[in-house]
Chain A
Amino acid sequence: MPENISIRIDGEYVPAQEGQTILEVARAGGKYIPTLCWLAGISSVGACRLCIVEVSGVGRLLPACTTPVQDGMSVTTNSEKLKQYRKIAIEFLFSERNHQCAVCVSNNHCELQAMAQRLGVTSVRYPYAYPKLAVDVSHPRFVLDHNRCILCTRCVRVCAEVEGAHVWDVSSRGIRSMVVCDMNRPWAQSSSCTNCGKCVQVCPTGALAEKGFAVDEMVKQDRNVSRLTGRRGGHS
């Protein structure tokens, strides 16, 4: 039995259990912490840095999705400092790749776009990188557009953990990081892909999409994946 502990979130005492993350406890207590790479039912990696929180006594900001709670912990989820850093995180995501929302299949259904709006980002203060990136259209049903990828790795995790195929991985490091299929092959030549489409449905942006959709038309069904993992007894 995990031990019951108590932590404070924004000054309020909330019940928690040892082994839970700050994000889990906050969500259970009805506290909103913004997330982008996190998805119910799959592992957490703290890639997007949007769920950063302040923990008193700790000098740096910690991602709520991967930080376990400790008895007596005091967490701040929504200070001016956090708002500023979250905006910076979003602006970096926009500046690193080519996100033309207006001509994207996921326009108006995109978690990155919605998060920018939610956090009040109306411009990007950093120079855009304009990288030259490929679009993999080899798969008969799906498209991988690296221009829209934010490297959240939801696709990597859902494929490995839920579908069990582990088609996707991240190659290279830093700004050169890239989602790759089967040790860097065109998607159509993958020998491990089951064509299930889970990666497409959980992708928060237009990086992974179904073919045959125009601007605005790609609506993702990521709840199906969360429902599936919930039924399997995973945490949702």
Chain B
Amino acid sequence: MIKKVRLATVWLDGCSGCHMSLLDIDEAILAIAKRVDVVYGPLVDAQEFPKQVDVTLIEGAVSSQDDLEKVHTIRRWSKLVVALGDCAVTGNVPAMRNSHPARKMLERIYVEGVQTGRGVPVDGVPALLRQAVPVHEVIKVDLHIPGCPPSPAAIAYALGELVEGRMPEMASKVKFG
């Protein structure tokens, strides 16, 4: 029996569209499911990021203190880190706030933007970083799969190669946007 690939998926500052696209790879998911153990992510129930992960797919930009801590943990315990989708690769929509101070943006939304409100939320939510940045600006990323979202075909191809222990060649198969 072939050893299964320990796969983690992570959802940072993104819309979950990349995870949707991952689930949208049709029957290819059956072959991949046989070859992987999903050990962490929104699709499973693990609470803590496990030690010893073969491949971690990161969706979303690094936008909060919590995201920042997560990506360092991910890098520490993952053999391969994949930036999945434009937010993780370029910053994309979450980075549109970057030319304005985070505090001003929060006040615009939670104070000026509402009739009655309790102000900018602070309890139970992580503090925003000054800017939302692509994952590779914080940690080393081994593979970039751009797209908003990346096409199911690109994801299926990439996972198919990764479970075989090969590094996929994405250049001809993906685009920004």
Contact = CB atoms under 8 A, between A and B. Distances in A.
Contact of B90 (A94, A104, A117): A94
A107 B177 contact: yes
Interface stretch (B21-29, B49-57, B92-100): B92-100
A215 to B, nearest CB: 9
Interface centre among B134, B141, B172, B175 (most CB of A within 10 A): B175
Interface centre among B133, B134, B144, B177 (most CB of A within 10 A): B177
B89 interface: yes
A234 interface: no
A32 interface: no
B106 interface: no
Interface in B119-177: 131, 133-134, 136-137, 141, 144-146, 148, 170-172, 174-177
A103 B98 contact: no
Contacts, number: 76
Interface stretch (A2-10, A65-73, A122-130, A170-178): A122-130
Interface string B71-107: 0000000000001001001111101101110000000
Contacts of B172: 120
Contacts of A128: 90-91, 95, 98, 133-134
A123 B175 contact: no
Interface in A117-155: 117, 120-125, 127-128, 130-133
Interface centre among A104, A122, A133 (most CB of B within 10 A): A122
A47 interface: no
Interface residues on B, range: 20 to 34
Interface residues of A, number: 27
A124 B95 contact: no
A102 interface: yes
Contacts of A114: 175
B31 to A, nearest CB: 24
A11 B99 CA distance: 48
A122 B92 contact: no
A101 B175 CA distance: 9
Interface of A: 94, 98-104, 107-108, 110, 113-114, 116-117, 120-125, 127-128, 130-133
Q: Which 4 A-B pairs have the closest CB atoms?
A: A101-B177, A120-B171, A102-B148, A132-B99
